[in-house]
Amino acid sequence: MAEMIRKSSVDEVVNHWVLAGSCLLLMITGFAFLFHLEPVGSMFGGFNTMKDVHNWGGVVFSLSLLYSMKHYLADAFEYDADDLQWFKVAGGYLSHKVTVPPMGKYNPGQKLYYLAIVACGLGISISGFGIWLMKDDSTIMLLSHLVHNIAFCVFAIAVPVHIYLSTLANPGTFQIMVNGKLPLALARKRYPKWIKAVGKM
């Protein structure tokens, strides 16, 4: 066995799955509400029950989102010159010939993605509670409905990209969300600045 290094704590992996699971559940039920997808409603025993699933799934998502800040928020606000260069070569995703600058634990794409999820996640959670609990305030209802749907569009576009980049586009990455570890040799290539920082280069 190759020597492994832990990139994500158990706590982080578990919370990521709670966040991912609740997010997908909310997106599927959300699409069902938006486009009257009766087969999806039937899977929950009707739209009345699906509304409860959507509301309480939103509670789980909100709490999980807040907890995830403990893991990612500090990193997501730190950028350096390599990050700028990373954008200039589009992260190496559009061509394998370019030289991608050395990265830390997370690349700037991941960091900006996280900030977008935090911003839209807070927006969609707060507006969701507005629609759920403040039905009789016209301004709150209309504003919440708009914010909820704008944030939903961001999720509908950003989440599939995140899933693709973390699975098919970068083989070996998905495993980090299974057991939190990856081979040290691979980590040295992908996250050299992080490995240097933990003294295992």
Partner 1 sequence: MANENNSRKAILVTPELCIGCRACQVACKSWNQLPAITTKNNGSYQNPPDLAGTAFNIIRFNEVPSKDNPVRWLFVSRRCMHCDDAGCMNICPTPGAIFRTPEGAVATNSDKCIGCKLCVQACPFDVPRYDEQGKMSKCHLCFDRIANDMQPSCIKTCPTGALKFGDRAELVTAAKSEGYSTLYGEKDLGGLGSVYAFKEEPNLYGMLENPRIPSSVVFWHTYLKPLSYIGLGGVVAAAAIHYLAVGPHKDDKEV
Contact residues toward partner 1 (CB under 8 A) are 31, 33-36, 38, 41, 46-48, 51, 92-96, 102, 131, 135-136, 138, 141-143, 145-146, 149-150, 152-153, 156-157, 160-161, 164, 168-171, 186, 188-190, 192
Minimum distance, C-beta of residue 34 to partner 1, in the bound complex (Å) = 6
Helices (H), 91-107: none
Minimum distance, C-beta of residue 27 to partner 1, in the bound complex (Å) = 9
Minimum distance, C-beta of residue 99 to partner 1, in the bound complex (Å) = 8
Nearer to partner 1, 14 or 92 (CB): 92
CA distance 108 to 40: 36
Rounded to 10 deg, the angle between the 138-166 and 108-133 helix axes is 150
Nearer to partner 1, 105 or 190 (CB): 190
CA distance 188 to 184: 6
CA distance 90 to 43: 41
Helix (H) / strand (E) containing 177: helix 176-179
Is residue 154 within 8 A of residue 170, CB to CB? The reply is no
Nearer to partner 1, 71 or 181 (CB): 181
Minimum distance, C-beta of residue 139 to partner 1, in the bound complex (Å) = 9
